[in-house]
Amino acid sequence: MFDYTEASQSNHRDAGRNPMSSMEVVAFETINSETYITHYDVKATVAYGSNKESYEIHNPKVINPSTLVEKLNLKQSGLIDPRVLVDSGNTLIWQYTPSPDQCLYYKYRNKTFAKPIKWCNFIFKLQGNGLSVFAVQHKSRPTEKTRLYFAPLPNVYSSGIICLGSCSLPRNKDIDVISECYFDSVKTHLNNRKLLRDHKEVSDTQFLNWIKTKTTSPIRVSELKPFGTLKDIL
């Protein structure tokens, strides 16, 4: 096991416990001559009145070597991830493009969908314990005037706020871990039925039929209704 980040203090407190520190660790495993890298979040807590730390491992995620190298380079250089747009205390806003093999997990009544989608680009906003998501046309760094669109995802309100349900977000500020944690969660219903331009209102069945076509053709923002601009969420 190789710990590639130092422990950093978190503002989170648990009842009866001292503030938690967090670490990220990776484990290397070789199976049949193939090497696999798994990333973990680790929380260290100390009970009040005790000097003994306990550790909890969360959010295991298999990553590729290039992702590990990028994380190490950012950590060692002290650079801010260029995808981060705002990082001010309680608010974190960033750009994110899902990987080509990122599935949409959607379970509606007796229908289950779990396939990779040709995704558009997204902007996430983490404020306190609330997470919001919006679609954006380009990967290039946006300005305040950059147009945002309703995210083509279930469990997202028209305000962009995500109904997280049982999805438990990691406590650190790793934007990839947070984004992947959300995308890997199972979505169950539409909260915003006015997300597509060609439909006055979209039913769950219509959305399911539409998203199935996005396994072969990319999601385009021209198909989505505008939300506003980046300035509206700053």
Please indicate, yes or no, whether residues 125 and 229 belong to a single structural domain of this protein.
yes
Asked if pLDDT for residue 74 goes beyond 90, the answer is no
Domain with 176, as residue range(s), is 80-234
CB 113 within 8 A of CB 106: yes
Please indicate, yes or no, whether residues 57 and 109 belong to a single structural domain of this protein.
no
**Phi, psi angles (nearest 5°) of residue 196:** -105, 140
pLDDT band at 25 (very low <50, low <70, confident <90, very high): confident
Over pLDDT 70: what percentage of the chain? 80
Please indicate, yes or no, whether residues 54 and 20 belong to a single structural domain of this protein.
yes
Query: pLDDT digits over 140-195, tens only?
Result: 999 999 999 999 999 999 999 999 877 888 878 889 989 999 999 999 999 999 99
End residue of a domain, out of 54, 79, 104: 79
pTM: 0.69
Please indicate, yes or no, whether residues 159 and 174 belong to a single structural domain of this protein.
yes
Asked if pLDDT for residue 47 goes beyond 80, the answer is no
CB 182 within 8 A of CB 167: yes
Please indicate, yes or no, whether residues 13 and 28 belong to a single structural domain of this protein.
yes
Asked if pLDDT for residue 24 goes beyond 80, the answer is no
Structure tokens at 30: 């070789």
Q: How many domains does the chain have?
A: 2
Q: Which residues contact 29 (CB under 8 A, 6 or more apart)?
A: 35, 36, 38
Over pLDDT 90: what percentage of the chain? 55
Structure tokens at 35: 């090497």
Please indicate, yes or no, whether residues 104 and 33 belong to a single structural domain of this protein.
no
Instruction: Decide which of 93 and 171 is more confident.
Output: 93
Please indicate, yes or no, whether residues 130 and 152 belong to a single structural domain of this protein.
yes
